[in-house]
Amino acid sequence: MDGNGRWAERRGLSRLEGHRRGADSVRTITRAARALGIKRLTLYAFSEQNWGRPVLEVNGLMHLLKDYLLNEREEILTNGIRLEAIGRLERLPDMVRETLDELRAASSHNTDMVLCLALSYGAREEMTYAVQRIAERVRRGDLNPDQIDEHVLASELDTVDADLIIRTSGEQRLSNFLLWQSAYAEFYFTDALWPDFGKAELQEALAVYARRNRRFGLVA
Ligand code: IPE
Ligand code: MG
């Protein structure tokens, strides 16, 4: 979800105002995805690297996140959405983590759609911690090194393979998002800034995705 800052700067607004409008897009896109029958939507909301932004912006984003979780609680629960989160959640301020944990627990039995927030997330970090846990299993004698295959590694990661990865704002890179899980993902890049990315833009991305020929290394 990229381009909140540029959206605001072009209008002479504060970056935080851009993030507020970005949160509106999150609501719109979550509703649209559910209506379109998408089963899992993962949103890269805050990266491990984003902690390095100015402290005022980081604090603003954390408050926005907490407000989002409180405001969306009812809609998430009544629409059968299960809220999940990936990343180093222990780095989040208590007020965010408590709100997040409460909604994750309250929505844990919902099955219509998973809304997964990547928070304090980095794919290299995710893979590094997965390797640490595997090494620990080996040290305990629960696993032999020659038993480590891609299924073992995948099972230690925080989330599953992605089918489609959308990046807004004209940037064409992954920026430490789902490096392992994107091995066979389709990529869709759009110049639209995240606050301008609405239902029509999502439908266009899905229409492009539907025309792709996915072969997974095999012949057609
Ligand atoms: C993405 O918008 C939102 C977050 C990283 C939280 P940016 O803040 O990266 O917006 P630009 O890239 O400055 O336009
Ligand atoms: Mg950006």
Q: What is the CATH number of the domain that holds 67?
A: 3.40.1180.10
In a domain? residue 190: yes
Q: In total, how many domains does the chain have?
A: 1
Distance 176 CA to ligand 2 centre (A): 13
- What's the pLDDT tens digit per position in 92-140? 999 999 999 999 999 999 999 999 999 999 999 999 999 999 999 999 9
Residue identifier of the C-alpha nearest atom 1 of ligand 1: 2
Range of the domain at 80: 4-121+159-210
In a domain? residue 131: no
In a domain? residue 153: no
**pTM listed for this prediction:** 0.97
Q: What are the CA-CA distances from residue 103 to residues 66, 73, 118, 157 (Å)? A: 11, 7, 15, 22
pLDDT at residue number 220: 85
Tokens linked to 82: 């299960």
Q: Using the atom order of ligand 1, give the atom closest to the CA of residue 46.
A: 6
Query: Looking at the annotation, which residues are catalytic?
Result: 2, 50
Q: For the chain, what is the mean pLDDT?
A: 98
In a domain? residue 185: yes
Distance 135 CA to ligand 1 centre (A): 36
CA 152 to chain centre: 22
Strand order across the beta sheet in which 40-47 lies:
40-47, 113-121, 81-86
In a domain? residue 146: no
In a domain? residue 116: yes
In a domain? residue 220: no
